[in-house]
Chains A and B, each alone.
Chain A
């Protein structure tokens, strides 16, 4: 059964969510937040604050230890395996370590979500080629990931995450290995998708980007989440930088 996004439902709703690995300490504690359809958030926090864990709950890799997660209006703990698989196809993920498949070319890596979704090969060829041109990899389509630079691998990973126009795009440090110009270019790609309706969450340490785009932040500190709205963040940043704290 194909899972359709429920009309007017939030993309994600976390109610009292805690999470830990096995018998370890709680990585996330009593998380409460909602992602509205078409919103754009940065996710910030120190290393080890729980950003990757929070993202893994969003892309259905883990279930919360406590509390309830609803995605696209569905309680994930009540979904069947088949329904979860359909839901995952609406989520694009850019992993911090890229997770490219080394035995597939850049083209085939990007084509992977479409092949899983059963899209026709002719359409796959057209869409993938267009996107790889857009991210500046038109001459690297047949190259295997180990032969690509870090920045090129990152662009392949991003192209793979956005190729099927996901409803929710999650990116863990997507601009960590590219220069500022390419980082902005990639962020503009995310913005374009956002304008088309994709909800975007980007975990990043890049204060320059956060400042430049000024979207609201999901800030994690020692497992606790606080949502900093766009205006409030701009005010905070303005105060901070007016005091001469340039970064």
Chain B
């Protein structure tokens, strides 16, 4: 006995065409989405790291130890007063010698050496990420009273990179929309081809009293399954590619810049590409078949 869905379908090109095209589109969409997810996460990480803090350097001076320490201490006090009174600054603290030694440890290792070197004093400034301080004004205020102070805003240095990355995310979104449109057109083409190939069958079962949904459902379910299978296989094919890229990033020790690791929500998002493509195929098929059936009374 025949399966219910085979009432309508003999072998036609859409049976092969649709899974292959879905596989290709699923493969590309998963890779692009993975790139988008990791880009977004890396940007978020960078923003989190840089948006909350500034650093001010107060250089040491040559000269006798006492006068040098006095001048540096005076400069630090002045700088702290300016910083704490500036809008958008939540707090400013001078890094202790121990903290400096800890900071320099990867390069110099010996605490004694750190204390002997004429390293600048660092002031860690905590800023309000919602009301970021006016950096240009702050620089001007500092330089007017502590000319040797250097304000270091990581945000300013990362700004072009952030712009580039968010531009990349917009481009990725655009490509994903293009892919969805391509998928929809592919389904429309496959559906119309199949409808033409099966016109005599559709006409017959329509005359026997099959309502529109009977025919639409058979096409839509078939195309949902074929697209899902193809797209899921595309997802499987993308796994070794993603693993390879991740391996290369880690091998080049770029993982502190580009966070390529994916968590459970990200994997669910990538898996959902197959479902989204299949749902798109389902809806597109429903509309295409429904329009086609209007030619019958």
Contacts and interface: CB of A to CB of B under 8 A. Distances in A.
Interface string A200-230: 0000000000000000000000000000000
A46 B1 CA distance: 41
B52 to A, nearest CB: 63
Nearest to A113: B208
A57 to B, nearest CB: 10
A200 B86 CA distance: 97
Given A60-B207, A84-B297, 9 more contacts: A61-B207, A62-B297, A63-B297, A88-B206, A88-B207, A88-B209, A89-B208, A91-B209, A104-B6
Q: Interface residues of B: mostly helix, strand, loop or mixed?
A: helix
A85 B210 contact: yes
A107 interface: yes
Interface string B72-106: 00000000000000000000000000000000000
A110 B226 CA distance: 29
A85 B200 CA distance: 17
B201 interface: yes
Contact of B1 (A89, A93, A107): A107
For the complex of A and B, the 6 pairs showing the least CB-CB separation, nearest first, are A89-B209, A88-B209, A85-B211, A103-B10, A108-B2, A116-B210
Given A101-B201, A105-B2, A82 B7 contact: no
A116 B205 contact: yes
Interface of A: 59-63, 81-82, 84-91, 93, 99, 101-105, 107-108, 112-113, 115-117, 121, 125
A102 to B, nearest CB: 8
B120 to A, nearest CB: 82
B209 A112 contact: no
A117 to B, nearest CB: 7
B4 A115 contact: yes
Contacts of B212: 81-82, 85
B204 interface: yes
Interface in B162-189: none
Contacts of A112: 7, 205, 208
Contacts of B200: 99
A219 B200 CA distance: 30
A63 B296 CA distance: 11
Nearest to B212: A81
11 contacts: A81-B212, A84-B297, A86-B211, A89-B208, A99-B204, A101-B7, A103-B6, A104-B2, A113-B209, A115-B7, A125-B1
Nearest to A114: B208
A77 B2 CA distance: 36
Nearest to A92: B208
B208 A60 contact: no
Nearest to B204: A99
B124 to A, nearest CB: 73
A195 B208 CA distance: 23
B267 interface: no
A108 B209 contact: no
- Of the candidates A59, A93, A115, the one having the most CB atoms from chain B within 10 angstroms of its own CB is A115
Nearest to B214: A116
B211 A81 contact: yes
A152 to B, nearest CB: 19
B205 A82 contact: no
B1 A108 contact: yes
A59 B205 contact: no
Contacts of B209: 85-91, 113, 116-117
Nearest to A142: B1
Nearest to A116: B210
A107 B205 CA distance: 16
Nearest to A128: B1
B201 A88 contact: no
A93 B207 contact: yes
Contacts of B1: 107-108, 121, 125
The residue in A62, A91, A101 that gathers the most chain B C-beta atoms within 10 A of its C-beta is A101
A225 B207 CA distance: 25
Nearest to A103: B10
Contact of A88 (B4, B6, B10, B208): B208
Contacts of A86: 209, 211
B51 to A, nearest CB: 60
Contacts of A115: 4, 7
A195 B210 CA distance: 27
A84 B294 CA distance: 13
A61 B297 contact: yes
Contacts of B205: 112, 116
A144 B198 CA distance: 18
B208 A104 contact: no
A113 B204 CA distance: 10
A136 B7 CA distance: 24
A29 to B, nearest CB: 21
B204 A101 contact: yes
Given A101-B201, A105-B2, A59 B214 contact: no
Contacts of B10: 102-103
